[in-house]
Amino acid sequence: MHPFEFILLFFSFIYTVALTHILFAATRMIRHRRQLVYSWPHALWMAGVFLLMSVNWLSLWDLRTVARFDLEVIASNFIVVISQYFLAALVSPDFEDGEDYDLQAFHRRERRTYIGAFLASGVVGIALNFEGALRYGLTSWGQQNLIMIPLWAAGLAAFFVDRRWVQIAAPLVVIGMMIAYPIIFYPVLN
């Protein structure tokens, strides 16, 4: 087994569990739709986080060219995957005892927590991208940090500004960038 396959398999388990949080919450929303007080900002953040995790998993494809993985690289990638797990878990309501059926209240109460996790995950991702570009010659990873500029601007705006249009526009920027990301950087896997 190549080190890439070994490492990717481990990270894929974590991504799978994280994405399960989002998918499970979405199915619970459908199931409890009659009791739900819907929130567009929250739904858009859930979609944005789902896409973010999907494209970050896709970007791990670049590691296939790396012959050896030292502990530092494994640990830094692990930190990114774990930060994204927390992000997925925090954006996903639990729906225990009907507590989170009011998603507008959930967004007002928890938005700074999951948007803060989004921003923290971005810091970790930027550091990892620089490491991959410098250490392994993954130049596209350095270029991918440019996408972080609008992502961070959107995240900061949503974290600090409590206006409805900002709360909707910010995750729409995230979604747009996450749709553009694979088109720009991974139109074909070869």
Can you give the pLDDT of all 190 residues of the chain as single tens digits? 788 888 889 999 999 999 999 999 999 999 999 999 999 999 999 999 999 999 999 988 888 887 778 888 788 889 999 999 999 999 999 887 667 789 999 999 999 999 999 999 999 888 888 877 777 777 777 778 788 889 999 999 999 999 999 999 999 999 999 999 999 988 887 7
Q: What is the Cα–Cα distance from 126 to 76, expressed in whole angstroms?
A: 11
Residue at token pair 């995957």: 81
The tokens for 74 are 């494994």
The Cα–Cα gap between 27 and 32 comes to 9
CA 155 – CA 135 distance, rounded (Å):
29
- As given in the structure block, the two tokens for residue 95 are 């729906």
Distance CA 135, CA 65 (A): 12
- pTM score of the predicted model: 0.92
